[in-house]
A and B are shown apart, each in its own frame.
Chain A
Amino acid sequence: MDKNNDVKCECESVEFNLDKYTKKVKNKSDFYRKGILVLPYEKWGSFDCSPFMSTTFDFVKWIKHNTDMKENISVLDGKEKRIAALHSAQIWFPLVYLFSDVSLPIYLNLVANYLYDKLRGALTTDKYEVRLEALIEDKKNKITKKFLFEGSYQALKEISKKVDLDKMLENR
C-alpha cells in the first residue's frame, strides 16, 4: 500500500466469485462476460441494499458516447435498483469487474479521460477527490485481485503515468 499525501493506492488478492455475486441481483439485465462489468456495491454504509453510486450511469453513458469501448462495457442492473448519493465533493466510481481482455491501465485511462471531461468547468480553487475500486480477473492464476484508489484527481493522473500498474498487480 502506498499512502502519501492522503492518497491510498492498494492492490491485493481477494476471494471473489463473480457467479455468486451476480446471482444476488434479482431480475438482472443481460451482461457481457468480457470487457468491463459494472456491479452494484454489495452493501453501502448502514443501508440495507446493494446500491450503485450516482456517478455510475453517467460514467457508462460517457464511455458509450465517447470511446470505442461501447460493446465492452455492461451493467449488472436489476429492477430493484437503488442509487447512493453522496454530497461530498468525492467522485465515487462504480465497483467494476475487469475481465482479462481489459487491463487496469486501460480502465484508469478511461477514468482519467472521463474526469478531464467532467471537470472542464472546475474552478481553480475546487478540490475533487476520487474513489475507485476494481476487481481484476487473473485468468492465468485463476484468482481475483482488487485495486483500490482514494485520493485527488491529480494523484490519480500521476499514478496512471508513473506507476507500473501491471507490475504492481503481478506482485500481489
Chain B
Amino acid sequence: MLDILFDKKLKNGNFIVNELNSHVRFVHKMQFDKAVQSIEACSKKVDEEIALATDSAIGNRRNQLFILSVYVKMLQEYLDFWGKIFKAEYPESWSSIQNILDLLRVLKKFNRDHETFNLKFIEEQVTGFEKLYPYKIFASTEMILKDVECSICGKDFYSLECDHLGGELYDGQMARGIVNKIDSVSAVALVENPKDKRCVMMLENTEANFRLVAYLPKVIKELKISPWNIEGVRQTRRKKEIGEFEIERHDMCPCGSEKSFGECCELVGYVELPHMDVIINKKQSLEIKQD
C-alpha cells in the first residue's frame, strides 16, 4: 500500500519521500522542531492528494492514500512521543506509545512491506519501550450497547443490514462502529491484557515510578546518539551477589519469585534480578529508498 509513494501518477510523491527522508535526518541530528515541520509538510501534501483522488474509479487509490495518511500520522505521534520523553512527561508519553501502536496495527494489516518504511524497526523499538513503563494492570469496562451506527453507511453496525466489516477500508475510509447509546455499564474490571492500554491508574511522575523510562533521554544524551540508534529493549536477568542485599532467610526473595529467600536464591548462591538492556545500533540508516 505505501509503495504508492513511488507511483509516478502521484503528483507530490517525490516531495513526500524527500520530506520523509529530511525528517529522518533531522531526528538523527536531534533537530526535532525541523523534523516536525517536515512531517507537517508531508501531511499537507497527502491531504492534497486525497482531495485530488475524486474519481470513483480509483477507490483502491483512495485506500492507499488513507494508509499513507495513517503512516504520516504515526510518524507525528512518534515525534510527539520523543517530545514528551525529552520534557520528562513520562505518564503522558504512555498514551503516545499506545497511539503509535494502534496506527502500526493498521499499517501492518494493509502494508505487506514492513522493512522499506521502517515499520518493523519502529514496532520493535516502541514495543520494547512499553516494557519500561510501570503499567501492568489496566481497567477494562463491560457494557451493553444499544445504538451503534456504521461510519460508512450509517445503518445499524451490529446487523446484517450493514454490509461493512469493522477495520476494513472502503473507498478511502475505515469502517467503524459509532456508539450512540450505551444501555448500561456492568463493571470496570482490572485486567492484565486489555483492549485499550490507555486505561491505567495514573502514577505520579516521580523518579521511582518512571526510572526505566527516564533512562532513555539519559542514554541518548550520554552516548550522543539519536532515537534512531535505539533498536529496542531486551528483557534479561542479571546475577547479583547475595552480599549486596540485606535480607533474612524468611524474607521474600528479591528476585520476584514470590518465594521466601531461603527457598529460592539462597539455595543457588546468587540473586537473579530482572534487567532491561537498551540495544544500540550506531550505524542505523532509516532513509526511504525505492528497491
Contact B109 A88 (CB under 8 A): no
A145 to B140, CA, bound (A): 32
Which B residues lie within 8 Å of A52 (CB)? 158
Contacts A58-B166, A121-B109 given: A77-B159 contact, CB under 8 Å? yes
Residue of A nearest to B107 (CB): A121
A155 to B189, CA, bound (A): 25
Contact B193 A57 (CB under 8 A): no
Which A residues lie within 8 Å of B166 (CB)? 58
> How many pairs, one residue from A and one from B, have CB atoms within 8 Å of each other in the complex?
100
Contact A85 B127 (CB under 8 A): no
Contact pattern, B 149-193, Cβ under 8 Å of A = 1, otherwise 0? 000000001111011111100000000000000011011010101
Contact A125 B160 (CB under 8 A): no
- Is B238's beta carbon under 8 Å from chain A? no
Contact of A120 among B109, B143, B189, B196 (CB under 8 A): B109
Residue of A nearest to B197 (CB): A89
Interface size of A by Cβ–Cβ distance < 8 Å? 37
Interface size of B by Cβ–Cβ distance < 8 Å? 41
Question: Which of A8-16, A59-67, A98-106, A157-165 forms part of the interface with chain B?
Answer: A59-67
Which B residues lie within 8 Å of A4 (CB)? none
CB distance from A121 to the nearest CB of B (A): 3
Contact A84 B158 (CB under 8 A): no
Residue of A nearest to B164 (CB): A61
Which A residues lie within 8 Å of B101 (CB)? 123
Q: Which of B94-144 contact A (CB under 8 A)?
A: 101, 104-110, 123-124, 127, 130, 140-144
Contact of A45 among B148, B187, B195 (CB under 8 A): B187
Which B residues lie within 8 Å of A171 (CB)? none
Which A residues lie within 8 Å of B193 (CB)? 88-90, 127, 129
- Is B145's beta carbon under 8 Å from chain A? yes
CB distance from A113 to the nearest CB of B (A): 14
CB distance from B142 to the nearest CB of A (A): 6
Contact B105 A65 (CB under 8 A): no
- Can you report 11 A-B residue pairs in the complex whose CB atoms are below 8 A from each other? A46-B187, A47-B184, A61-B165, A75-B160, A82-B183, A84-B142, A84-B143, A86-B195, A88-B191, A89-B194, A122-B105
Beyond known contacts A57-B162, A89-B194, A121-B107: 8 more, CB 8 A cutoff: A54-B145, A57-B157, A77-B159, A77-B160, A82-B145, A85-B143, A87-B196, A120-B108
